[in-house]
Structure 1
């Protein structure tokens, strides 16, 4: 931290929880089973592409987790804020930052993930996650963000005032994210149903369609649910996420 109190960097401090590693392992086992099944040809043999596809999925999953944990960071300077993600980095000058808010993580994350995340909002109402500025890596993210905003106030050409037009766009984005989150939940529920249906088809000796049942149908159902909820909730938008005073 510099003399003005704004120079700081947020990086990974805690290890990945074992529950996340266990979940990744279960997903990899499922991917192996599915690629093994769908790569069987009509003569009982195997096509060549099953093992390479599984290896590619495994490498991509492990690589993304490693990049997010060891490369991602949030850097704050007198010039602005830089959010370094797994692959790309994005920088905002202080004049481009509308607000910085600590918000509760989506429900269902449990103790295997941070419960409070920090987002940067620009003047178009768009929301961007600030990596590692959460309750896992920072003891008190609310106090940290409040101190950060106070230290950055002299560096901005405007104050941290609320603007109705930006708040309306933020509300619209909240509705959209909420709809697609429930669409994802719906897709997972449909996947569970189609998985059971696929097992039933195999048990009775009927020809199954694993790609259609466990990929196409859940995705289509999730998109349809998200579109319907987005239109329905647009007329009744939720409250904007409240920043820490």
Structure 2
């Protein structure tokens, strides 16, 4: 930290819970086994599901690679010039004049102990938000106090105050509504995927022709997009309350 108190870097300081690393692997291994069984059962008739095991193997490799990069590469650096968020692959930098606000927000429900409960986001003047890596309750005892101290130290470096603007707040709330809609759309598409898996197994058992590409790709994607679009239209008229943690 420099004399102004704003120079700092947030890296991984604590190891994630072991379950954070094991559970994704177990889930994907189970999916791999189930898909291999479906593929084997379909060899005798129908088109089968031959591309399932390679697809899940690729997905597993990509997931493991992303977790590794996130743990050892992702970080946030703060200087007198601005903020740099180094993600698993790419980095992005904002000058202080481009930063509208920095907020600590509660993670989506359902993450439990498998992920940080409080995350820190940077908002620009277009209402867009960006994750500040490692500035969370896994790596810091009190991320809200850290962010409050950071904003106080950075105040002299900004040409604007930290006061909230109604037009930007409206954009932020609409962005939150959009993300919430597409999150539920993804959940809906995943649910439809598992339903289609049951349908495909039933078709194989009774000897009917199966269409895995339609069942496992087209139907879940279409269902998720439609659900997300409907929810986004509905919530756009009543955007959710900002999830930022209040003092």
The question of a shared fold, defined as TM-score above 0.5 by the shorter chain, is answered with yes
Note the C-alpha offset of 1:71.
0.2
Match of 2:73 in 1: 71
Match of 1:6 in 2: 6
Contact 2:19 2:114 (8 Å CA) reproduced? yes
Match of 2:216 in 1: 214
Note the C-alpha offset of 1:47.
11
Matches within 5 A, 1:2-81: 2-20=2-20, 21-31=22-32, 33-34=34-35, 53-81=55-83
Mapped to 2, the partners of 1:215 and 1:43 lie a distance apart of 21
Count of residue correspondences: 245
Aligned mate of 1:104, from 98, 102, 106? 106
Once superposed, what is the RMSD of the aligned Cα atoms?
Answer: 2.6
Mapped to 2, the partners of 1:230 and 1:17 lie a distance apart of 34
Query: Please, what TM-score do these two structures have when normalized by structure 1?
Result: 0.89
What do the CA deviations read for 1:59-94 (whole angstroms, capped 9, x no partner)? Answer: 322211111110000111111110000100000011
Contact 1:120 1:130 (8 Å CA) reproduced? yes
- Could you list the runs of 5+ residues in structure 1 that have no partner in the other structure? none
Query: Counterpart of 2:27 in 1: which secondary structure?
Result: helix
What do the CA deviations read for 1:136-168 (whole angstroms, capped 9, x no partner)? Answer: 011001101000000100111111011111111
Match of 2:141 in 1: 139
What do the CA deviations read for 1:206-242 (whole angstroms, capped 9, x no partner)? Answer: 2322332222211111110000011111111122334
Contact 1:175 1:233 (8 Å CA) reproduced? yes
Match of 1:150 in 2: 152
Contact 1:12 1:70 (8 Å CA) reproduced? yes
- Could you list the runs of 5+ residues in structure 2 that have no partner in the other structure? none
Match of 2:116 in 1: 114
Query: Counterpart of 2:122 in 1: which secondary structure?
Result: strand
Contact 1:99 1:160 (8 Å CA) reproduced? yes
Note the C-alpha offset of 1:9.
1.0
Mapped to 1, the partners of 2:222 and 2:86 lie a distance apart of 33
Going from structure 1 to structure 2, the CA distance change for 1:207 and 1:90 (only over 3 Å counts) comes to: same
Note the C-alpha offset of 1:243.
5.0
Mapped to 1, the partners of 2:50 and 2:184 lie a distance apart of 37
Mapped to 2, the partners of 1:138 and 1:41 lie a distance apart of 53
